[in-house]
Amino acid sequence: MESLIDKLFSRTSNLDYVSKKIKEISKEEEVVKIFNAINTFSSLSEVRFVGGCIRKVINKEEIDDIDLATNLTPTQACEALNKNNIKYYETGIEHGTITAVINDKSFEITTLRKDLITDGRHAEVEFSDDWKEDASRRDFSINAIYSDQEGNLFDPFNGRKDILEGNINFIGSVEKRIKEDYLRIVRYIRFFLNYSKKKHDPKTLKNIKINLDGISNLSSERLLNELKKILKSNGFKNVSRDKESLELLSLIFPQLIRINSFEKLNSISEEIYQKSDFIFLLSVMIINETDNVDYFLYKFNLSKKDQKRIKILDNFYKDKITKNTFKEKNLIKILYFQGRQAILDILNYKIITTKKIDPNLIELKRQFENKDLPTFPIDTKNLMQEYDLVEGKTLGKKLKQLEEFWVNNNFQISKEQVDVIIKA
């Protein structure tokens, strides 16, 4: 049950765009099902929107995910979803979080909590039914805003005001908040780049710099995930104009040697930047013809697929670039051996790191976006029958010779040429 103070002092009944937008979201089929499941579980049960989705509504941003908070325990929340045939996963149930899935849409539902023990990386929590207590453990005022389906905000730390005025305020003691979880330093940078309309508070900066060593306590996975959010945020391009944030990011991620690569982009490069994924943007910042890429991949735990993608691009630009490097004949070989993603990465990298617009590069990119992947025309079974070959080293060697000839001959090979190679 909401306390009297909650009702009288912390709730704001909104008739503006915020409440209208929240009401729109609340009408979505999946949201209706979750709210009904939890709100009808008992006379005291309640679920509210929280955090990023509310922050984005207030700032008129696109809502890409919805997080929810509830006063039910995780076990009760699971029971409520079960009763209503809603599928869920216990993604972080020890910390109070389950993920409901309806129509392929995911919703994180977290039980109200209070911290018992924190060590800078993880927190031992106790579940609560106190909304103010839950808000008090959050990092920034702009992330401690809750709303019901009608758009009534519970905003105990004036987060909405801070969003509108562009203030990035820690809740409570800055030093204490940082020492609870050093990732909050990186989160501060992200929120400052995206929402701040003011200069950095000197006391906040001092506390951050004093505690920078704590970053080394964090897992590479958590750091990489936060870096991904920064790179894909709208505010990242502002980093070169904010020397404090730039300095902090360079200290935390020293391998981002070319962190300023995305300032003053031309119209073509800007379009590529907006459409690019995290791995490509990361590649642009860490490739510099040294072993910097290898060091980054050693330090951070990327998937083998992503590592391979970055290394293809790195190795290409470590080779000497000549007048033939970007000829179609050379690039089509890369398309065949490395795939379409590799060739588009190579062309996008060249375009985005070249200040002037190069029509030839743009035309090459257009061609390779739609060019069919060459198909090796030799059928192994037919080859074995015609030339009386059996499986083994000899067959493998001949196939490799045929493929090399075919590739180097502009993907052309005649029956006579096959005959010469096989009989050699």
DSSP secondary structure of 290-302: SSHHHHHHHHS--
Residue 11, pLDDT above cutoff 70: no
In the predicted model, what is the mean pLDDT of residues 125-151? 93
CA 52/CA 335 separation, integer angstroms: 40
SS3 content of the chain, % helix, strand, coil (to 5): 55, 10, 35
94-122 pLDDT, tens digit per residue, is 888 999 999 999 999 999 998 765 655 56
Tell me what pLDDT residue 93 has.
Answer: 81
Tell me what pLDDT residue 387 has.
Answer: 87
* Higher pLDDT among residues 116 and 75, named by residue: 75
Rg, Å, the chain Cα set: 28
In the predicted model, what is the mean pLDDT of residues 326-342? 93
For residue 137, the surrounding DSSP H or E stretch is none
At residue 123 the predicted structure's pLDDT band, cuts being 50, 70 and 90, is: low
Residue 56, pLDDT above cutoff 50: yes
Residue 424, pLDDT above cutoff 90: no
Residues in CB range of 280: below 8 A, 6 or more apart: 345, 348, 349
* Higher pLDDT among residues 125 and 31, named by residue: 31
Residue length of the chain: 424
Exposed/middle/buried for 158, CB within 10 Å: 0-12, 13-18, 19+?
middle
- Angle CA 163–168–171, to nearest 5: 105
In the predicted model, what is the mean pLDDT of residues 35-50? 96
Answer positive or negative: Cα dihedral of 405, 407, 408, 413: positive
Strand segments, DSSP code E, in 71-196 are 87-92, 97-102, 105-111, 113-118, 123-127, 146-147, 153-154
CA 208/CA 188 separation, integer angstroms: 9
Residue 6, pLDDT above cutoff 60: no
Residues in CB range of 172: below 8 A, 6 or more apart: 136
Query: Encoding tokens for residue 235?
Result: 């505010």
CA 16/CA 14 separation, integer angstroms: 6
DSSP states along 174-210: HHHHHHHBTHHHHHHHHHHHHH--SPPPHHHHHHHHH
At residue 347 the predicted structure's pLDDT band, cuts being 50, 70 and 90, is: very high
At residue 320 the predicted structure's pLDDT band, cuts being 50, 70 and 90, is: confident
Residue 411, pLDDT above cutoff 60: yes
* Higher pLDDT among residues 358 and 4, named by residue: 358
Residue 227, pLDDT above cutoff 50: yes
CA 15/CA 81 separation, integer angstroms: 31
Contact 338, 373 (CB under 8 A): no
At residue 5 the predicted structure's pLDDT band, cuts being 50, 70 and 90, is: very low
* Other C-beta atoms lying within 10 Å of the C-beta of residue 241: 10
Query: Encoding tokens for residue 214?
Result: 């704590």
Query: Encoding tokens for residue 330?
Result: 């050379």
270-303 pLDDT, tens digit per residue, is 999 999 999 999 999 999 989 999 999 999 989 9
Helix ranges (H only) for 237-392 are: 243-252, 267-275, 278-286, 292-299, 304-318, 328-338, 340-352, 359-370, 380-387
Query: Encoding tokens for residue 209?
Result: 């710099």
At residue 150 the predicted structure's pLDDT band, cuts being 50, 70 and 90, is: very high
Residues in CB range of 286: below 8 A, 6 or more apart: 255, 256, 257, 258, 292, 293, 296, 310
- Angle CA 384–385–390, to nearest 5: 40
* Higher pLDDT among residues 396 and 142, named by residue: 142
Torsions phi, psi for 117 (to 5 deg): -135, 135
Contact 140, 171 (CB under 8 A): yes
At residue 321 the predicted structure's pLDDT band, cuts being 50, 70 and 90, is: confident
Instruction: Please report where in the chains the tokens 């609870």 appear, as a residue.
Output: 180
Mean pLDDT of the chain: 91
* Higher pLDDT among residues 192 and 1, named by residue: 192
CA 11/CA 160 separation, integer angstroms: 12
254-276 pLDDT, tens digit per residue, is 999 999 999 889 999 999 999 99
Torsions phi, psi for 44 (to 5 deg): -105, -10
Contact 36, 19 (CB under 8 A): no
* Residues above pLDDT 70, as percent of the chain: 94
For residue 34, the surrounding DSSP H or E stretch is helix 29-39
